Chains A and B, each alone.
Chain A
């Protein structure tokens, strides 16, 4: 039973075609003609899959859609007795299996944060749980880092295989794909022919080379205390965050951001309850019904974002940083706020005191 196959670049489309008969396959495609950005969409025949750069928006949508219907309802009035009402409720239906093809280690790592919050607490989120169980990840070894990437600064790396079901290494003019667990093994026979020993050896060498790289010069994993120390320093936050325009892009493209709203959208007697993405960068995030807002200024909101990712989350979940180092927030920010610098300089206050 072979576990490693080789697929040539030119045969990718055929392979994706075969896979899409078994399950939904999500692939990175270009935003449009003559556009640079890449996003994840369900595969269909004319898609051109783009694997040579990171996607602008990651595959967060697959497990945590931007808009998700939780239930549908309809009021049925009794014409004989107007005071009586029956409610028809349609709950979620079955979710089909899915494969995310061409994600990168940073994308997969983002879901560890989700797992902690949605699965491991007192209440398990059934919607996320169902999708998570039925979704596989075929992750690409990443050798296309750019100046915004910093996965090594948050305990990960471009060769990090954790959390993936299949692992792809670019070799020659194609990929060596290896199954990392049983779920992945089931797909191997459909994907391609066994890899030759030379190809396997090349893949091994590339893996070693890439894993040895350090992407991101700082170490941001121990910033919790520094953050608390600098919490009150409004001058620091003003300096760093004045240029923010509170647009929310950073939270939308971030693979670890999981805040959501639940709203009922209805019309006349029927409607649905939907869950949609929320962003801590918006004023309305902490706006209370009384009209009071504990975080009226954008400095406070950005401080909360940094605090959540690098201080509150690790404190609650055994040191796990809620950041995967993908750099999307830096790249997509309209004013290029660099969260690495902000977190790294937190310790200056502490160093200055010592």
Chain B
């Protein structure tokens, strides 16, 4: 279980977590790399077999624990390698995207797209735009308890 989502530092790079589907988007990112397209370096990629694997809670966990942005990318609808995965995903992720602002997390910190494995240029565009959006929003303020939270925890430190 990947757990090293650290608090974002004050360095120039912010922390963007990307969940890419193995068949299309991961290939697309690979294509972008092979063609040597320039991209911002904020993105840390995690490979998942299909966006259907995408549990909205991966996104929530990343954002609560300090990631500045989360990007999910998969095959185009109707082109899913497993036929239906991204149909489920697009419903779940859209609901999640509209839910985040209710809890106080900016909706633009999460984005989901469809990029196929030959669309290297599109991938570069997506990453660059999203990076700019996140930089515009600034580091994630995160979720912090008020001083009374100490009351529920230990006496010291």
A residues lining the B interface (CB < 8 Å) = 26, 40-42, 44, 61, 65-69, 92-96, 131, 267-268
Contact = CB atoms under 8 A, between A and B. Distances in A.
Interface string B128-157: 000000000000000000011011111111
Interface class of chain B by DSSP: loop
12 contacts: A40-B151, A44-B147, A65-B154, A69-B154, A69-B157, A92-B156, A94-B156, A95-B156, A96-B155, A267-B3, A267-B4, A268-B4
Interface in B2-47: 3-4
Q: Which 8 A-B pairs have the closest CB atoms?
A: A93-B156, A68-B154, A69-B154, A41-B151, A67-B153, A95-B155, A66-B152, A65-B154
Nearest to B156: A93
B18 to A, nearest CB: 21
A268 B1 CA distance: 11
Given A61-B151, A66-B152, 12 more contacts: A40-B151, A41-B151, A42-B151, A67-B154, A68-B154, A68-B155, A69-B153, A69-B154, A69-B156, A69-B157, A92-B156, A93-B157
A65 B155 contact: yes
Given A267-B3, A267-B4, A61 B157 contact: no
Contacts of A44: 147
Nearest to B148: A41
Contacts of A40: 151
Contacts of B151: 26, 40-42, 61
Interface of B: 3-4, 147-148, 150-157
B111 to A, nearest CB: 27
Given A267-B3, A267-B4, A268-B4, A67 B155 contact: no
A131 B4 contact: no
A268 B156 CA distance: 23
A224 B117 CA distance: 72
A131 B155 contact: yes
